[in-house]
Amino acid sequence: MEDTKQRILEKSLELFSAKGYDAVSVGEIAKAVGIKAPSLYNHFPSKQAIFDAILETTSAHYQKDTAEISVHVQDSQKDIPVFSHISEELLVEKVRQIFLYSLHDKTISQFRRMMTLEQFRSPKFAELLSKRYVDWMISYHAGIFRALVANGELRNEDPDTLAWMYVSPIIVLLSICDRQPEREAESLEKLDAHVKLFFRTFNIVGGEK
């Protein structure tokens, strides 16, 4: 039963990311899974319930994988030691790891594509996209920068403004790669240059990790 439930989530996300949430019916999901529509309701009471489960499992998937590269992303307090006195080279490496993971992990990339499609059709999805891919990223990095400023490791600038300056180019580069995969190498070069410039501009103490 768990295997069927997982297949429902996987096929639903695949369809949602290709056609959009509203355009996909429960019957279409059931057909893709290889079961009858009534059988699908034994696992999920509605399409909305499927989406809610995708949201939950995708978040857990992301947290587990990013924790393995010592960046929790969801909790800035846990990651402050990771970034305290970090070297420029290690910072570039960690940002690249997160960027490439976000770009190429099938579940994460399909979820982002689905949300990108739906943002123009539903205010609810637009709000969720902003919250998940902008607001929490700004909040997370502002928390990191606030601690580093307090420790005297970053220039004494507003942490929220620093977070916007740091995160915005990364979001733009990720969206470029989503639309034009052939520009990945170029985007990675720009990503590295951005991280290095930010580090050299605002870092005070430097140091080796």
52 and 75 inside one domain: no
Report if residue 153 sits inside a domain.
yes
| Domain region containing 37 | 1-57
Global pTM reads 0.84
Distance CA 206, CA 191 (A): 20
CATH code at 4? 1.10.10.60
pLDDT over 90 (residue 92):
yes
Establish if 29 belongs to a structural domain: yes
Q: Are residues 113 and 84 in the same domain?
A: yes
- Are 78 and 134 members of one domain? yes
**Do 32 and 73 fall within a single domain?**
no
Given CA atoms 152, 157, 159, 165 in this order, what sign does their dihedral have? negative
Residue 64 falls within a domain, yes or no? Answer: no
Burial class (CB in 10 A: 0-12, 13-18, 19+), 118: buried
> For the segment 43-91, what is each residue's pLDDT rounded down to a tens digit?
999 999 999 999 899 988 888 887 777 655 667 888 888 888 899 999 9
